[in-house]
Structure 1
């Protein structure tokens, strides 16, 4: 992810980060890949994966563009991008999208997922991504919008669901304290238009239950346990009880809606 590391609640150096990356990939990669395919990705494209986190998206992009194309994967912490046994088929650069210049120009595709909400200098980051596109190139941004659906258990029919939602409220309070805009996802179409992009469209996707939702919830709660305790937002007993409830797989655990918005840098007037 990108943004100020000292403010980032979900530190990539924590052991739970890998489990979160795996769950997020299983939940949202199919939707991301569907959008990229609709944009017409093909061999030879140059792509920038911003705040890549793990290897699943840049690896897939590299397979689509082939040896004649090129994929640059950037992040503040690149450890999860380079930890595999095989050398990745994409270029890895340590990079802060809110501070550093783009790692190139003339990209056919720039993609960022769950990145900009964590970046303090969001406007500068968005401007840099647009500036890096070639005329006719595509920008695809994907951000969660917790306020569109604020409960992890929308069907709050018992104490187990109420406890889950209490902990989720605490998690979101911690994120807001660190400058995360919990309603950012819905603004993406407008921001892309204001940035001068053409053919702007958007949709949203929110899994409601399933094994990967369970994996994501457990990894996230384990990762923020100390922060919840330190802020007085939950007790050890409440966290342990919630994790037991999660493991029972009797909770329908929803994700925040993932808003995907995409647009094209126009070639010229009227293009």
Structure 2
């Protein structure tokens, strides 16, 4: 089956029914992301580009840190949620990182979380992000490595956990079919060095279970449901059972490790 896309994303990031799981993503990963920002040294007067503005939680943190003398540009295909924080020093723009020129140059910080693994032309997107940095500017890219931990429930103790892992396997197969790299996260340090960055370092963050993980999984399955069923990867009945189990709060559901890699433009 041939898929026609009007954007460079592997799954439509603007679904009409499921919405985008902004709150769950923020609850899972904001604390880790902000810790990296603090380590990098984001401070007053910095110019920052947030690729994939999402719900705006990262924009809000950056705005407080850079202050009135700084600048924060948030870009995304869907800016409806991020626009709520679009006041100085924050500017929000509709933008496709795989197809359009960067929204400026000379940034002190460029950050993308769970963006590059979701686009078809990751190399082009990364090129644009590095190009937008000033000499000495910092790039922080955070993305999943599904192959490092491919299970929904690492402790598969019964039918409920087996179903969770079956659905997660279907999601992996669907994304692989559409061009995803399940080991992309672990490649980030090398890719940053090959892009000319120096002082490259990385670490992994691995939430094992939390209500936010279940909420994120619910949104992902709802978003991909029609494609999963159309390709006979998961049945509608399985999805209904799985969504009910997720809502019960009884699954110890894990996320794939989030690999955070950062470096400085020479």
Structure 1 residue 257, shift from structure 2 partner: 0.4
Aligned residue number for residue 269 of structure 1: none
The answer on 1:192 being equivalent to 2:188 is: no
Aligned residue number for residue 211 of structure 1: 211
Q: Is the contact between residue 154 and residue 254 of structure 1 (CA under 8 Å) also seen in structure 2? A: yes
Aligned residue number for residue 26 of structure 1: 27
Structure 1 residue 120, shift from structure 2 partner: 2.2
The answer on 1:118 being equivalent to 2:118 is: yes
Aligned residue number for residue 40 of structure 2: 39
Structure 1 residue 208, shift from structure 2 partner: 0.5
Aligned residue number for residue 81 of structure 1: 82
Aligned residue number for residue 151 of structure 1: 151
Q: Is the contact between residue 7 and residue 178 of structure 1 (CA under 8 Å) also seen in structure 2? A: no
Q: Is the contact between residue 49 and residue 112 of structure 1 (CA under 8 Å) also seen in structure 2? A: yes
Q: Could you tell me how far apart the structure 1 residues matched to 2:200 and 2:115 are?
A: 19
Distance 1:172 1:155, change over 3 A: same
Q: Could you tell me how far apart the structure 2 residues matched to 1:7 and 1:202 are?
A: 25
Q: Could you tell me how far apart the structure 1 residues matched to 2:8 and 2:181 are?
A: 17
Q: Is the contact between residue 97 and residue 125 of structure 1 (CA under 8 Å) also seen in structure 2? A: yes
Aligned residue number for residue 251 of structure 1: 251
Query: SS at the partner of 2:203?
Result: strand
Q: Could you tell me how far apart the structure 2 residues matched to 1:189 and 1:132 are?
A: 19
Structure 1 residue 58, shift from structure 2 partner: 1.3
Residue ranges of structure 2 left out of the alignment (5+ in a row): none
Q: Could you tell me how far apart the structure 2 residues matched to 1:195 and 1:6 are?
A: 21
Give 1:1-271 correspondences, 5 Å limit: 5=7, 8-18=10-20, 20-82=21-83, 84=84, 87-89=86-88, 90-266=90-266
Structure 1 residue 6, shift from structure 2 partner: 7.3
Alpha-carbon deviations, 1:55-112, whole Å to 9, x = none? Answer: 1111211111011000000112222222x3x644411112111121111111100001
Query: SS at the partner of 1:17?
Result: coil
Q: Is the contact between residue 10 and residue 120 of structure 2 (CA under 8 Å) also seen in structure 1? A: no
Residue ranges of structure 1 left out of the alignment (5+ in a row): 267-271
Alpha-carbon deviations, 1:23-44, whole Å to 9, x = none? Answer: 0111001100100110001110
What root-mean-square deviation, in Å, do the aligned CA atoms of Structure 1 and Structure 2 show?
Answer: 1.7
Structure 1 residue 206, shift from structure 2 partner: 1.1
Please give the TM-score of this superposition, normalised by the length of structure 2.
Answer: 0.93
Query: SS at the partner of 2:147?
Result: helix
